[in-house]
Amino acid sequence: MTNAEQKKHKRNLGKLFPNSFISTTQEFGQPGGLWTGFGEDGTVDYWSHYVAPKLQKYLDKHGLFLEPNDPGTYMIWKA
């Protein structure tokens, strides 16, 4: 996703999940995605494969997908 898309999704997801950590994947040297703490705050559960319905709806609407980095950290990428 472009820098403008990252900013838009970061802002929108921040409004939907105000207590969640959301940044960009540039910090990992991988441009084009979002880095989240959705596994840390219960928005996503690695072990049960749970994804909060409003997050899944947002991802589907915008052509995005989740990729687990570890049980607490999820990346979001454009499909």
Q: Mean per-residue pLDDT for 43-62?
A: 97
Residue partners of 14: CB distance under 8 A and separation at least 6: 20, 22
Number of domains comprising the chain: 1
Domain encompassing residue 25? 3-78
Closest CA to 2 of 77, 58, 65: 77
Q: What percent of the chain has pLDDT over 90?
A: 94
Contact 34, 25 (CB under 8 A): yes
Say which CATH number the domain at 38 has: 3.90.1070
Confidence of residue 27 (pLDDT cuts 50, 70, 90): confident
Q: Is the pLDDT of residue 29 over 90?
A: no
Q: Mean per-residue pLDDT for 9-32?
A: 94
Q: Mean per-residue pLDDT for 17-24?
A: 95
How many C-beta neighbours within 10 Å does residue 75 have?
A: 19
